[in-house]
Structure 1
């Protein structure tokens, strides 16, 4: 662990060289996050282009799963590139990771669709996402370590907070490019081929990023270790093979980063997907509203980084997690009221319930695109609701009961497939779904959100609050992780918990949460995932996480 001592460098104002380090490291990382998050922003289009062989609900979950695939391998990237960074240096390592990220993103823009090359398309897409994830696994630890090792002791939170802005700024840049492209070429062209342009132009950002990073020198802390022959010969063994260091990896993960990860992805990705898929806000409007909230909230990354130099990293991170857990349910319900008031009103005036025996109900997810969910009455009853994103409550019925859906005061009994087959079965299901759709429409359930009825200032305020929570937990996290570990294995040690927390706990959040919603019918049920993780982080952090903001990181 990094130790506190009298050998800490003298506090000083930022030099021109340090300002260049912050600017160059941050700008390069912005471009890398831009590459990584384009996929998340365009998941709806990607599901159509690359997963068109399955039904709509499954296709979107698959698209989110491919999005999560990039996160799944981030810890492995952390191990591979963290080790290289501790062996050969910070600078050259993140030059390699940047090249891998940029070329993979560019390739997504050129990849033929499912309609052109069949199942090879999603397989190649997932492969490219895996390369991106490996690259990002090596990028963040290098950038954060590099900046922190240039910073004076009393400003590490402030200096590294600029790195913390880069994920949001990368998302913001991606939003601007997507919004600009949609505006210039129109929605139809964007849906057909224009979605590829933001991926293709990333090659220009790659060239700029590489040039910027090549102007930098090696970290002074690493250079000193190298000159003195004190660099680690086996970073992985020292970082994870010795309990003295491994316990801090575990504490950092469970007592800080896991909660930070789920708050991050709830505020900046799940909120976007919730707007589009659940509240049926059109993609262009959702992107603009998210972009405004990001622009308003981003300065608070720097504020909380600065504040952590004054009062510590731990209280800010844990309070942010606690506040998120306490307020997510009312916040997302208020978001429904503001973004789609017709939907919110219909849920109150004409709540939907499904009465069925639990053994007759399948999980509405089709991994191979062959299941039509028509073998049991409960499946038929729920299929239309799942596809339409309708919130409903399950009521348990005795075995053998034919499933029914109640919309307000009207009840619709699903066809019983035991007595139907062939064309008769198809006709009965079609009639049932048409009747159900008519009842939902009559009850006020909208086909999509009406932007003229939307309370846009309130929506922006809610989204701002969600991102504000992100800034609390994310602004100080880099400084805390750097300060927990000794310099010779810092890159390796801090990268693994960061990328498990963000790559696994956070990256899998959209997929997991939407699957939870699909399984229960409750549009808010997916929020239990980030809430439980955030509460766990608060408890473990309070008990085991040390405060680090007064430590020297030169040892």
Structure 2
């Protein structure tokens, strides 16, 4: 077998300072994640301006769906830019992704709302989100491969852990910007135009990030491959058309990345949405609490990256998945109790129960804004509770039973819309809603969390636990993925499973989670998504994921020539 030392030039390129490589790659990626997460942080404002043609609950879920659209396109970006990165090079590829991301974000700041241009507003917004997702699809793989191919043996976990901090740092910068604006602007001004400022500011970050990236040279491993004529001419075919590599892609996806994705989102964006929409904490406080916790856990990325160089990637990552399976439900229950103790006490003291014929109950989600949810007594009940964010239990009743709401021992029977029409129906529904709201108030259910009662230290502590679990799976991940795949197809091979995991499995977690809450009335129902995915990753990872921390990533560049070839050593190395 031909080795690197035999096949490649001894000096592929002039070396560059390793600290510059880490700093430049990481800073550029921080700014890209700032752009990407900004949309999620401002989902409430965006739902008002771009989805105002539907009810508030549907508008928020649609805003989350538009957010998720950026994640949905990421695997396609991984294919496009992964191929370019394996053929053209690492550096130039992530310069292009940076420009696309920054300009798309800047454009959101100028985009007119629904009240100005109608349905064109959410359509254009969706297109911009798709461009952002496409760019992010090529970003992570380039940065991870670039740093890993500069790292000395035995330090890849430590070096690449800095790139793993970028998503959190990007979120922290975006959160800090949003919190500052909320604090120094009155609510009306922020809602009217202030929310656009973070998007417009991205043009400054884009300029800085492009300048930083231009200081870098190409990866030495890629330069050596290119000098030897060993780069792949068809990286996608080699990466995904040959079983020896495809099976590793599948193991990486289901045995590492899927669990990392849901644990990561359960540490930052999902808690943020959860605090605002479920615990009813005001937006500025929720952003502050999440940003504070994320700031505190950032050193854990580097620690677990460093630790993985000594004991391996697999035991750290699998431990986090197992802990998440058993910890999420009690931790999120504790989060609600700390953030909104009045709500938690009311749920315990006077649980809300809906007794209705399940066949008459609609799914409480209306993407086109045409369903009024008043055709049945069950719809009348659930529509009001969903809008109010009230946790409730479902009890199936006999056919044609008129739905009722039980708040502790207090019972409220809904009007039967079949016996009413026009103004009489509207009046009956309004009267019923007033009665239910009165019952909720008497039972101690607050409309919003009392800022004086929010236990900020406890909330931050719980969020830090979520964050540490995320750093356990995310800190060693880049090194693991780089070590799994051969250099000539490395960019393509690792980018696709990473972005399927984070773009589809993780990216849809907030949308699916809140849709599950809306459908069932159980504020904890959405956690099942994260728990099941983490459990699958634990099983697949423990059984099939190889340990990689002692692998020589340059020794994976070539394999012996295939029988029948001209003798050139030009075929893909199997894993």
Could you tell me how far 1:6 is from its partner in structure 2? 12
Could you tell me how far 1:4 is from its partner in structure 2? 12
Any gaps of 5 or more consecutive residues in structure 1? 9-14
> What is the root-mean-square deviation in Å for CA atoms of aligned residues?
1.5
Could you tell me how far 1:154 is from its partner in structure 2? 0.3
Listed one character per residue, the Cα deviations across residues 377-420 of structure 1 (whole Å, up to 9, x for unaligned) are 10001111001110000001000100000011111111101100
User: Match for residue 477 of structure 2?
Assistant: 477
Could you tell me how far 1:316 is from its partner in structure 2? 0.7
Listed one character per residue, the Cα deviations across residues 448-493 of structure 1 (whole Å, up to 9, x for unaligned) are 0001011111011011111111111100000000000000000000
2:82–2:491 CA contact under 8 A, matched in 1: yes
User: Match for residue 217 of structure 1?
Assistant: 217
User: Match for residue 366 of structure 2?
Assistant: 366
Q: Does 1:327 align with 2:327?
A: yes
Aligned residues: 548
Inter-partner Cα distance in structure 2 for 1:6 and 1:400: 80
User: Match for residue 467 of structure 1?
Assistant: 467
User: Match for residue 514 of structure 1?
Assistant: 514
Inter-partner Cα distance in structure 1 for 2:184 and 2:448: 24
1:4–1:551 CA contact under 8 A, matched in 2: no
Could you tell me how far 1:191 is from its partner in structure 2? 1.2
Q: Does 1:112 align with 2:115?
A: no
1:112 match: secondary structure: coil
Inter-partner Cα distance in structure 2 for 1:7 and 1:150: 19
1:110 match: secondary structure: coil
Q: Does 1:96 align with 2:90?
A: no
Q: Does 1:548 align with 2:548?
A: yes
1:94–1:142 CA contact under 8 A, matched in 2: yes
Inter-partner Cα distance in structure 2 for 1:456 and 1:295: 15
Inter-partner Cα distance in structure 2 for 1:321 and 1:542: 10
The normalised TM-score by structure 2 is 0.94
User: Match for residue 12 of structure 1?
Assistant: none
Structure 1 runs, 4 residues or longer, greater than 6 Å off: 3-8
Inter-partner Cα distance in structure 1 for 2:305 and 2:191: 39
Inter-partner Cα distance in structure 2 for 1:453 and 1:237: 58
Any gaps of 5 or more consecutive residues in structure 2? 9-14, 558-575
1:25–1:163 CA contact under 8 A, matched in 2: yes
Q: Does 1:124 align with 2:124?
A: yes
User: Match for residue 39 of structure 1?
Assistant: 39
Inter-partner Cα distance in structure 1 for 2:479 and 2:214: 24
Could you tell me how far 1:5 is from its partner in structure 2? 11
1:4–1:552 CA contact under 8 A, matched in 2: no
Inter-partner Cα distance in structure 2 for 1:399 and 1:72: 41
Could you tell me how far 1:338 is from its partner in structure 2? 0.5
Q: How do 1:20-419 and structure 2 match up within 5 A?
A: 20-419=20-419
Inter-partner Cα distance in structure 2 for 1:6 and 1:30: 38
Inter-partner Cα distance in structure 2 for 1:511 and 1:367: 13
Inter-partner Cα distance in structure 2 for 1:246 and 1:200: 41
1:55–1:369 CA contact under 8 A, matched in 2: yes
Q: Which has the larger displacement, 534-543 or 180-189?
A: 180-189
Inter-partner Cα distance in structure 1 for 2:446 and 2:49: 26
The normalised TM-score by structure 1 is 0.97
1:7–1:552 CA contact under 8 A, matched in 2: no
2:7–2:228 CA contact under 8 A, matched in 1: no
1:552 match: secondary structure: coil
Inter-partner Cα distance in structure 2 for 1:393 and 1:48: 30
Give the 3 Å change call, closer, same or farther, for CA 29–252 of structure 1 in structure 2: same
Could you tell me how far 1:365 is from its partner in structure 2? 0.3
Listed one character per residue, the Cα deviations across residues 108-127 of structure 1 (whole Å, up to 9, x for unaligned) are 11100001100000000000
Could you tell me how far 1:35 is from its partner in structure 2? 0.3
1:21–1:147 CA contact under 8 A, matched in 2: yes
Inter-partner Cα distance in structure 1 for 2:114 and 2:432: 32
Inter-partner Cα distance in structure 1 for 2:34 and 2:325: 28
Could you tell me how far 1:7 is from its partner in structure 2? 11
2:313–2:476 CA contact under 8 A, matched in 1: yes
Give the 3 Å change call, closer, same or farther, for CA 326–54 of structure 1 in structure 2: same
Inter-partner Cα distance in structure 2 for 1:42 and 1:471: 25
2:395 match: secondary structure: strand
Inter-partner Cα distance in structure 1 for 2:171 and 2:524: 25
Inter-partner Cα distance in structure 2 for 1:326 and 1:478: 26
1:4–1:550 CA contact under 8 A, matched in 2: no
Inter-partner Cα distance in structure 2 for 1:375 and 1:5: 75
Could you tell me how far 1:187 is from its partner in structure 2? 2.2
Inter-partner Cα distance in structure 2 for 1:430 and 1:480: 58
2:394 match: secondary structure: strand
1:298 match: secondary structure: helix
2:547 match: secondary structure: coil
Inter-partner Cα distance in structure 2 for 1:321 and 1:173: 28
Give the 3 Å change call, closer, same or farther, for CA 93–418 of structure 1 in structure 2: same
Listed one character per residue, the Cα deviations across residues 282-337 of structure 1 (whole Å, up to 9, x for unaligned) are 00000111111011001100000000000001111111111111100000000011
2:336–2:344 CA contact under 8 A, matched in 1: yes
1:405 match: secondary structure: strand
User: Match for residue 11 of structure 1?
Assistant: none
Give the 3 Å change call, closer, same or farther, for CA 455–527 of structure 1 in structure 2: same
Q: Does 1:500 align with 2:500?
A: yes
